[in-house]
Amino acid sequence: MRSNAWLVMVLTMLGAPSVALARDHLELVCGGVVTSPKDGGERIPLFFHFFDSRASDGASRDQRLSTIYQGKMFQAHYLNKDEKSDVAIVLKRAEQVRFKGAYAVDNKGGNGPFTLHVVGKINEAPSAKRPAYREVDEMIPCIDLSI
């Protein structure tokens, strides 16, 4: 009886790597600097964390985009049911907004490095009573942290 349990354990372990290698999520860290803002002002540093995983319905993608600014995390969530590439979002923390616009993730059909295209307005003073929005339209390089 004991040898059967051992055999089941060995077979399970041998089959597990094929399951573990089936990556069903995408985790990216994307950052860069808008060197020539449209408004002619100072450069704008941008940093985003993107996490995509299978949604609970088994077909859709659960996508989260976040950023940290002045020690505070701003997040947005999108349930992507149609595999849309341009997704409208608002990155916020409570009532404070850091970014509102759209994002698209691309890796040239699997043939290139990942990039995050963000188009919209970034708020440089999310905790201020009066927002300081600046327009951005930037393709940001990403590092794939998916394992």
Cα gap 63→40, rounded to integer Å = 33
* Residues composing the chain: 147
Which helix (H) or strand (E) segment holds residue 93: the answer is: strand 87-93
Domains of the chain by residue range: 23-144
**Per-residue pLDDT tens over the stretch 54-103:** 888 888 889 999 999 999 999 999 988 887 778 899 999 999 999 999 99
| 25 vs 144: CA distance, rounded Å | 11
Give the number of other CB atoms < 10 A from CB of residue 27: 17
Q: What pLDDT digit, counting tens, does each position of 112-139 carry? A: 899 999 999 999 999 999 999 999 999 9
Distance CA 83, CA 99 (A): 22
